Structure 1
Amino acid sequence: MKYLPNALTLLRIVLCVPLLFLRPFSVWFFVLYTICGVSDMLDGYLARRLGCAGPAGARLDSAADFIFAVVLLFRLLPAMNLPAWLFWWIAGIALIKLSSIAAGYIRRKQAAFLHTYANKAAGLLLFCLPYGFPLWGLSAGAAVCLFATLAALEELFLCLTSSELNQDVKGIFFR
């Protein structure tokens, strides 16, 4: 049972491969997309419940989250027909996130993927976006980008100012 959380995380990574080839917003795309999202919600919870949470599992989860996000960027963004300003906004968020990773690596010799409440909420909103986009369109995308920007800025601030790396830090307002 102690390997179940990491198995779910690995499942998410494996399911990213067929997501690359499925038509966005198709039934099978949503089936695999939902399995990936549910596995993301369950792996950390199960790791804590089963008493097997650890830094290796947290890093694997962060890697799976990153792979999932990159796959979705390449598959969903072209299908959403977004205006250029929203692409630039998304690129700006990605630049902030990469800056956080770089800052963590420069300061502590390891990539810093922080599991803040804001990052978790941004991830949940991003996960819900493909379900709501057909209904709310651009305003849904802009709302997710706004929240993701704030979460990314918080993460960068923490990576630059924290005296030690705590990947499970709750956020700047929860110290």
Structure 2
Amino acid sequence: MNLPNKITIARIALIPIFMVFMLVPLPLGEIETSAGMFPVSHLIGFVLFVIAASTDWLDGYYARKLELVTNFGKFLDPLADKLLVTAALLSLIEIEMLPAWMAIVILSREFAVTGIRLVAASSGEVIAASGLGKWKTVFQMTALSVLLFYNLPFELWGIPAGMALMWIAVLLTIVSGVDYFMKNKHIFKHSM
């Protein structure tokens, strides 16, 4: 297994650890900010999320630089992103910082795209992420990071940056999903 794929697997391994810090009531105390109090465990969860999200750039960088792009990596990298985003969305719903409908829109698109990838893979075709899909991921990860950090420092000035970024992420999710289906409609024709 090459270095980029190892980095992707490390990202997947961080997900359950992130969820423990976000969802299990750990007795680690709270941090007081001018915007309010939040659990230390959530701060640790935020740091783990940022580290995991950063590995998405890192594995892609090494795959391209070292010419180690593989079909396994093309399949595993977007799956790792989807798992990380799902974990963060569910955590934010649980701590009441994100409306469930936004998560449903994002997750519905992700499941649909994964379904198409699986159908394509069954006939030997691997579909890499598109440019729009990459922008969608950037906005999702950024929005989730800001929300997981309790919208700080923007909360201090009353700026709902996390939700504004999430709205952009939802719009990009819809647009990139439609684009993905349009570009890959041949897969449906060949699989029926």
* CA 106–122 in structure 1, closer or farther in 2 if over 3 Å, else same: same
Structure with bigger strand share is 2
Q: Any gaps of 5 or more consecutive residues in structure 1?
A: 166-175
Q: Secondary structure at the match of 2:101?
A: helix
Other-structure match for 1:28: 44
Long gaps (5+) in structure 2: 24-38, 187-192
Q: Is 1:93 aligned with 2:106?
A: yes
Indicate conservation of the 8 Å contact 1:119/1:152, yes or no: yes
The answer for the alignment partner of 1:143 in structure 2 is 164
Partner in structure 1 of residue 35 of structure 2: none
Corresponding letter in the other structure for 1:31: V
Pairing of 1:40-55 with structure 2 (within 5 A): 40-55=56-71
Structure 2 residue aligned with 1:123, among 140, 144, 157? 140
The alpha carbon displacement at 1:67 in A equals: 1.2
> Using the alignment, how far apart are the partners of 2:128 and 2:105 within structure 1?
17
- The alpha-carbon deviation at position 65 of structure 1 amounts to 0.7
1:2-41 matched pairs, under 5 angstroms: 3-23=2-22, 26=40, 27-41=43-57
> Aligned letter for 2:86?
V
% same residue: 21
Q: Secondary structure at the match of 1:51?
A: coil
Helix, strand or coil at the partner of 1:45: helix
- Over the aligned positions, Cα root-mean-square deviation in angstroms equals 3.1
- Counterpart of 1:114 (choices 97, 113, 129) is 129
**Equivalent AA in structure 2 for residue 91 of structure 1:** I
TM-score by length of 1: 0.72
Q: What letter is aligned with 1:28?
A: I
Using a 3 Å threshold, how does the CA distance of structure 1 residues 140 and 80 change in structure 2: closer, same or farther?
farther
- Contact persistence 1:101–1:113 (CA under 8 A): no
